[in-house]
Structure formats: structure tokens, C-alpha cells
Amino acid sequence: MPPTAQLNRNAIRVMALLYHGTAGQHYGLSIGRALEMGNGTLYPILDKLETWGLIGAQLEALEGEGRRPRWYYHLTAAGMRRYEEERHVLFPGGAEVRRA
């Protein structure tokens, strides 16, 4: 990730969901719904986070399901470290629920 790259509040919200959520279960639509974020806001954030190496994406394998495969998103090790550095933006008083 470029050292000068700034994460905005929405990017940190996406990272928080991936940090605290069930591993491997978050795809674009589920993230958008959970955060009440439109596609025009969400997908540019996902693209930037992936380009910066903070999240990874894996395409699900589908056979005969009759729908397009989903991209599932997860935090990388670098993404976990960066979220831990930035979470004070969302939880200034340390009121965050800790990861189990």
C-alpha cells in the first residue's frame, strides 16, 4: 500500500465488517446491505483496498447454479494490521467489540 494512502471512514467501515465478520462469507451485495452503502460507493472502495493489498478476493466456484459467481472478500494480514491502526476512527473511546 502506498505510504501516503489515506483510508476514509467508509473504507474503515468495510474493513471493520471484514475484520469482525465470518471469514469468507462477505461478498459485495452482503457488504453493501450490512453497511447500507450503495454500489457506487462500495465497489470503488473494494477496488482500492484490493489494489493496496489490504483485502483479497476469491471467486466462488459455481456449477449449474443459474447465477453469476460471487467474489468473496477478506482482509489480508496487512489489512488486519492497518485496520487495527485505524479503528480508532470508528471507535474513538475504545468501545469496539473485540474479535473472538
List phi, psi (to 5°) of 33. Answer: -65, -45
Letter for the amino acid at 43?
Y
CATH number of the 9-89 domain: 1.10.10.10
Angle between helices 39-51 and 9-20 (to 10 degrees): 80
Structural domain spans, the chain: 9-89
Could you list the pLDDT tens digit for every one of the 100 residues in the chain?
Answer: 555 578 999 999 999 999 998 766 899 999 999 999 999 999 999 999 999 999 999 998 887 778 888 999 999 999 999 999 998 888 776 655 554 3
pLDDT of residue 6: 86
Report pLDDT for 100: 39
The structure's pTM equals 0.83
> How far, in Å, are 1, 17, 31, 41, 43 from residue 91 at the CA level?
23, 13, 19, 22, 24
